[in-house]
Chain A
Amino acid sequence: MFPELNHLLNTTPDKAEQGKLTLLCDAKTDGSFLVHHFLSFYLKANCKVCFVALVQSFSHYGIVGQKLGVSLTAARERGQLVFLEALKTSVDIFFQPPVEPHPLQFLREASAGNLQPLFEFVREALKPEDGGEAKWRHPVLLVDDLSVLLSLGVGAVAVLDFIHYCRATVCTELKGNVVALVHDSGDSEDEENDLLLSGLSHQSHLILRAEGLATGFCRDVHGQLRVLWRRPSWPAAQRDRSLTYQYKIQDKTVSFFAKGLSPAVL
C-alpha cells in the first residue's frame, strides 16, 4: 500500500468505500504497481480478498507484498486470501481428469465460451460464511489482468459479462469491491481490447490510468497517473473529477508529484 496514493485517492484502509468497481489500466508502461497497492491495501483493511492472478505466480506477489508490509502466505493460511494461481492450475485442466467445472474451463473449450465457471469460483470464494460473526470486512475481488483473457481466446463480450456478474454479486449483493487491471494497447488497434476497456470504463466508479510519458523513458519520472472519478457524478462539484500526477517507483514506495515538479528536476 502506498501512502501517497491513498492520500491522492482520499482513502485509508479504515474507511474504504464499498460497492465500487475500480478499473486500473496502463498504456505504454507497466501498471502492476497499482495491483500490488490494492492487494496490500485491502489485506491491511481486513477484507476478504479473492485474487485471480492470471499473469504472475504466487511467490511474485508474495515478495512484493513483503516489501509493502503484508504476508500473502499468512493471509492465505488464515483464510483471508483466496488465491487462484492460473499459471499453476491451468496445467491441471489438461493433465488431470476433469472432476468438476474448473474455473479455467475456458482454456479447454475450442470455441470462445463464457466465464461462468470462473464466476462461480469467485462467488464461492467470497460468499459470506454461515453462522458466527463475520471475521472479515467486505469482500474484494482483484483480477490481474483481464487483457490476458482476450489473448486466451475469450471474447471481449464474455469478459464484460464476467465483470458484470462479479459486479452484481460482489459490489451490489455483498457490498464489496472489484478491482481489475486492463492493458491499453494504444496504437496497436486491438479492437477487442478497446471494446473491453471502453465497456469497463463505463461500468466503473474509479479509473486509474498509468501512462508512460509522451516523450519516452525517463530515469526520474516513470510515468503519469490519471485518476478519474465517474460515479456517482453528483458529488463531482465537491471534488475534482479528474487528477493527473506523475510518479516514480522506488523500492518500497511510489512517490507522486504534480506534473513537471519532480524533485529531480527542481
Chain B
Amino acid sequence: MLAPKSCQILPTYAHLLPLPRFYLYYKGFPPPYLTPRSGHPNAVAEKGPARTPFLGLKAEYFAKPGSTADRGPHYRQHPLGSPCGSASAKDSIEWEGRDFLKALIKKSALCGKQIHVLGCEVSEEEFREGLDSGINSRVVYHDLFRDPLNWSKTGEAFPGGPLGALRTMCRLTDPRPVTVALDSLSWLLLHFPCSTVCQTLRALCHQDSCGGDRSPGERVNVLGLLHEELHAPGPLGALGSLAQIEVSLRGTMGQASAHILYRKPGHRPTYQTQWFSILPDFSLDLQEGPPLQSQPHPDSHTVLVDPTSHVTFNLHLSKKERETRDSLALPFQFSSEKQQALLRSGPSQASGHILYEPDAYDDLDLEDPDDDLDI
C-alpha cells in the first residue's frame, strides 16, 4: 500500500506550504493536480475558508457586475496583458453536463452578459427549454445542429462550416461583455484536428488582440462542454491547458459533485470539490457535502454477508484467546529477556548440544573438516 510511504513524505511538505487545504493530503491521496483526469471520488469536501468560492462565483461578485475588479470565474490576467478566461466542463455518460452549462449560462446572463452559444449537439428548442424569457433574450443560438456538414445544400448552413462560425465569433462587434458557450467541444474535436480547435479557441479568447471594438476592460469568457469518454488523453490535456478552470462532473448516490481545478499563471494549480444540485430553473444549489443519510439505493440489493459464519471450522477468537495471542512473544524477536537468557546459558546446560559419535570411516581433521584441501 502506498499509505505508509506517502504519510512519511507528505508531512515534510506540509510545513513548507502555507495553504491549510494541503493537510487533506495526509490521508494518503496523491496530489490531484498531477493526475488531472482522475477526478477521483474524494468525497472529502473542502471545508476551507467560510465562504468557499464556487468557481470564484462569490455572492458579492454578482452584486456589482460592472466592477472591473471582478475576478469572476473565467477571468485571468493573461501574461500578455490582455484579459481572457476560459473554463471547460467535462462530463460523463452518467453525469450529464448540459444542465450545468445552462446553469452557468444563466449566471452569466444575470450578470448582464450577452451569451453566444455554438450549438452542435442539441436543437435550439431543446437548449432554450427551461431558461426563462429574460435569459433567453440574452442568448444568441448559432444553430449548427440542423445541418452542420451542409448535406442539404440549401444554402442555410454557415459559410465555412462550424469552424467558420467559431471564427466569426472571434470578430464579434458587440460592445457588451460576452460569454461564448461551446456545446460541445467534443463535436469540434471529432470533426477537426485538435490543433485547429485549440488555435481557434485561443483566438477566441484574445479578441482584443484581433482588433475588435472591444475595450481592454471587456473580456470574452468561453465555456466549453467536453465529453470525457470520447477523447484520448492528448486532446484532453491540450484543451485542459488552454482552460483556466476545469470542472469534472461526478457524483455518488444521486448527488452531483464538481471537481474543480484552477490554473492560475504563476501559481500552483488548486483543486476543490463542490457538491451541488441544479434546480428546475437552472440555478445552482451549492451543498456542503454528500448526503450523509444513505437512503437505500434501489440497485444495491447486496446484503453484507459475514463469510466466516457458515464454515465448518472456527475462525473467531474468544477474548481469552485474543489476550493470550497478544501477549505471546515472537520466537525470533530479540528482546532483553532473551538476551539475558542466552548470556546466562553456558556450556553446562545440556539443551542445544549435538552429540556425535564418529565411526571408523570418519576422519575428523580439525584443520580440514570438509576434507577438500588438496595439499
On A, residues with C-beta under 8 Å from B are: 114, 116, 119, 157, 160-161, 164-165, 168, 172, 194-195, 198-199, 201-203, 207, 228, 230-234, 240-244, 258-260
From A157, A168, A202, A232, B227 is in contact (CB under 8 Å) with: A202
In the complex, the answer to whether A116 meets B99 with C-beta atoms within 8 Å is no
Is B47 in the interface zone, CB < 8 Å from A?
no
Closest CB in chain A relative to B277 CB, distance in Å: 9
In the complex, the answer to whether B125 meets A172 with C-beta atoms within 8 Å is yes
In the complex, the answer to whether A165 meets B96 with C-beta atoms within 8 Å is no
Q: In the complex where A119-B151, A228-B94, A243-B298 touch, is A168 in contact with B146 (Cβ < 8 A)?
A: yes
Q: List 12 A-B contacts (CB under 8 A).
A: A164-B145, A168-B123, A172-B125, A198-B229, A199-B186, A199-B227, A201-B93, A202-B186, A230-B93, A234-B130, A242-B299, A258-B301
Contacts of A230 in B (CB 8 A): 93, 96
In the complex, the answer to whether A157 meets B151 with C-beta atoms within 8 Å is no
Name the CB-closest residue of B to A157: B190
Closest 5 A/B residue pairs (Cβ): A198-B229, A172-B123, A201-B93, A202-B227, A198-B230
Is B70 in the interface zone, CB < 8 Å from A?
no
Number of contacting residues on B, CB 8 A? 28
Is B191 in the interface zone, CB < 8 Å from A?
yes
Is B49 in the interface zone, CB < 8 Å from A?
no
Is B121 in the interface zone, CB < 8 Å from A?
yes
Is B65 in the interface zone, CB < 8 Å from A?
no
Contacts of B151 in A (CB 8 A): 116, 119, 165
Closest CB in chain A relative to B361 CB, distance in Å: 66
From B125, B227, B254, A198 is in contact (CB under 8 Å) with: B227
Is B46 in the interface zone, CB < 8 Å from A?
no
Is chain B's binding surface mostly helix, strand, loop or mixed? loop
From B93, B129, B149, A161 is in contact (CB under 8 Å) with: B149
Name the CB-closest residue of A to B120: A164
From A165, A195, A234, B99 is in contact (CB under 8 Å) with: A234
Contacts of B254 in A (CB 8 A): 241
In the complex, the answer to whether A198 meets B93 with C-beta atoms within 8 Å is yes
Is B218 in the interface zone, CB < 8 Å from A?
no
On B, residues with C-beta under 8 Å from A are: 93-94, 96, 98-99, 121, 123, 125-126, 129-130, 145-149, 151, 186, 190-191, 227, 229-230, 254, 280, 298-299, 301
Contacts of B96 in A (CB 8 A): 202, 230-231, 233
In the complex, the answer to whether A244 meets B190 with C-beta atoms within 8 Å is no
In the complex, the answer to whether B147 meets A244 with C-beta atoms within 8 Å is no
Contacts of B125 in A (CB 8 A): 172
Measured in the bound complex, the distance between the Cα atoms of B55 and A46 in whole Å is 50
Measured in the bound complex, the distance between the Cα atoms of B82 and A241 in whole Å is 44
From A157, A168, A199, A232, B145 is in contact (CB under 8 Å) with: A168
In the complex, the answer to whether B301 meets A202 with C-beta atoms within 8 Å is no
Contacts of A194 in B (CB 8 A): 229
Q: In the complex where A168-B146, A231-B96, A234-B130 touch, is A157 in contact with B298 (Cβ < 8 A)?
A: no
In the complex, the answer to whether B99 meets A233 with C-beta atoms within 8 Å is yes
Contacts of A199 in B (CB 8 A): 186, 190, 227, 230
Measured in the bound complex, the distance between the Cα atoms of B254 and A233 in whole Å is 12
In the complex, the answer to whether B93 meets A160 with C-beta atoms within 8 Å is no
Name the CB-closest residue of B to A120: B151
Closest CB in chain A relative to B68 CB, distance in Å: 37
Contacts of B298 in A (CB 8 A): 240, 243
In the complex, the answer to whether A260 meets B301 with C-beta atoms within 8 Å is yes
Measured in the bound complex, the distance between the Cα atoms of B130 and A241 in whole Å is 20
Contacts of B280 in A (CB 8 A): 234
Task: Given A165-B147, A199-B230, output 16 extra A-B contacts at Cβ < 8 Å.
Answer: A114-B149, A119-B151, A161-B148, A168-B146, A172-B123, A172-B126, A172-B146, A194-B229, A195-B230, A198-B227, A199-B190, A201-B93, A230-B96, A233-B96, A240-B298, A242-B94
Measured in the bound complex, the distance between the Cα atoms of B191 and A258 in whole Å is 42
Measured in the bound complex, the distance between the Cα atoms of B202 and A141 in whole Å is 40
Most chain B C-beta atoms within 10 Å of own C-beta, residue among A157, A168, A199, A233: A168
Closest CB in chain A relative to B194 CB, distance in Å: 14
Contacts of A165 in B (CB 8 A): 147, 149, 151
Closest CB in chain B relative to A134 CB, distance in Å: 21
Name the CB-closest residue of A to B280: A234
Contacts of B94 in A (CB 8 A): 228, 242
From A157, A198, A232, A244, B299 is in contact (CB under 8 Å) with: A244
Measured in the bound complex, the distance between the Cα atoms of B200 and A95 in whole Å is 47
Closest CB in chain B relative to A194 CB, distance in Å: 8
